[in-house]
Structure 1
């Protein structure tokens, strides 16, 4: 098929990249610094709240004396202050996080634009597969639900940071198995990035976009480019390739999530190195735990959905 060089995507990516970098610099020096100040105040309030709660427990246990009503009133005031500061901190973090997501997206768009400019694109018009687009949207929504609602938060001692056990990776891997690396990666990246942006994990959104896209691309590469999973095979072959592809994607995440997270938090978010190291250590264990059931559940779901989608004429061969 004849190819012609195209520069539209490259120009759009370059413009967005410049805009994203400008926004990132501006928001880092303004709203993000405000969030850091709110974080410092929030740490102080949490420390005071813990002291008051300890005093109340000691009085209730009979090991100390004091004005219990006054302490309860102080506890309520500190709790309200903590909630207000948490909301203000989250609001101040959002502009910088949005700009970083834009930068990461623009970098990927620019890379795609460079490829189009050098290698060219097919001159014949290629129709968008509406069914695949709809399925990608559905799986992106499931990725969002899997993280935003089906998660258990794990606070990091001595900091305001936290990580989570969640089901989002299950649908990210499933999307790549069903739709291929490109569409599956986009579904996972978009769904879980939106989940971060709409929850307390807003500062993790740029990192999430990059990592989930990579998970999808790796799973899709192994499943469809190397082993051609969507073609006709025996049940044993399909099961083995599904497990292998899922393991490859999750193995990447086990290594990349804490490693990328450490550098991202230290150098882009300004988190102290000792806290970043503690987060990386906790993230390694949590990510491994998430990976195990992502492999198991994604494999079970794919093996169940494959024949049903084929029967319904909704299965995609790649």
Structure 2
């Protein structure tokens, strides 16, 4: 860990918080709500830049705090922490362990790696968010079965829309930020043990 990593992780936690808290459209569902928002974008960008652990942690902290401070979503903060951490870990694994994205030089390969990693992380969330949410609300929060099912159905739609918009924005942001960070000597290269030509 170094100061740049810590500073960037803190920045992305703050951006995830802002992306949810200030760029959100709430959809009432029974006694609670679900939402369209841009918070997941910054979870994915953080994982692409910093790796899965730091990116996932930044997103989990930022979006859990957003839930806690929102007044509407504080009861699902633990669920949020788990799911956003998983988005980051999956995105980071695909980007850094499979594609070794931080060592790539060709723009086309960087673009491909960022797209596949983003889709992997957010694709997981499209499936996991409604499923985990259903059991969390039913078992932990004591929501009745029918309401929990309706909640899961609506959440599936909002999560899919969020995933599509977040994937597009994350890929664009990563590919725009990367050259700027390299020029500023703030891009963190994660060298694998053996790197061939990329």
TM-score by length of 2: 0.94
1:142 corresponds to: 15
Where 1:153 maps in the other structure, the secondary structure is: strand
Q: What secondary structure sits across from 1:198 in the alignment?
A: helix
Partner of 1:182: 53
Unaligned runs of 5+ in 1: 1-127
Match of 1:254 among 126, 131, 145: 126
CA shift, 1:233, in A, is 2.5
Mapped partners of 2:105, 2:184: distance in 1: 19
Distance in 2 (alpha carbons) for counterparts of 1:264 and 1:201: 13
Report what 2:141 is aligned to: 269
Q: CA deviation at 1:160?
A: 1.2
> Which residue, out of 151, 157, 163, partners 2:24?
151
Counterparts of 1:53-64 in structure 2 under 5 Å? none
Q: Distance in 2 between matches of 1:227 and 1:245?
A: 9
The 2-side partners of 1:138 and 1:282 are apart by 31
**RMSD of aligned alpha carbons:** 0.6
CA distance in 2, matches of 1:186, 1:239: 24
Cα distance in 1, alignment partners of residues 38 and 47 from structure 2: 15
- 1:138-187 superposed Cα distances (whole Å, 9 cap, x missing partner): 0000000001111000012xx21110000000001010001000000000
Instruction: Map 1:215-254 onto structure 2 (within 5 A).
Output: 215-254=87-126
Question: Which residue number in structure 2 is paired with residue 296 of structure 1?
Answer: 168
Give structure 2 stretches of 5+ with no counterpart.
191-198
Structure label with greater radius of gyration? 1
Hey, what's the Cα distance between the residues in 1 that align with 2:119 and 2:132?
A: 19
Q: Report Cα offsets for 1:172-208 as digits up to 9, x if no partner.
A: 1010001000000000000000000001100110000
Q: Which residue of 2 aligns with 1:191?
A: 62
- What CA deviation, in whole Å up to 9, does each residue of 1:30-52 have, x standing for no partner? xxxxxxxxxxxxxxxxxxxxxxx
Matched with 2:193 is none
Deviations 1:58-105 (A, max 9, x none): xxxxxxxxxxxxxxxxxxxxxxxxxxxxxxxxxxxxxxxxxxxxxxxx
Q: Of 31, 48, 62, which residue of structure 2 is paired with 1:160?
A: 31
What residue number does 2:44 align with? 173
4+ runs of 1 displaced by more than 6 Å? Answer: none
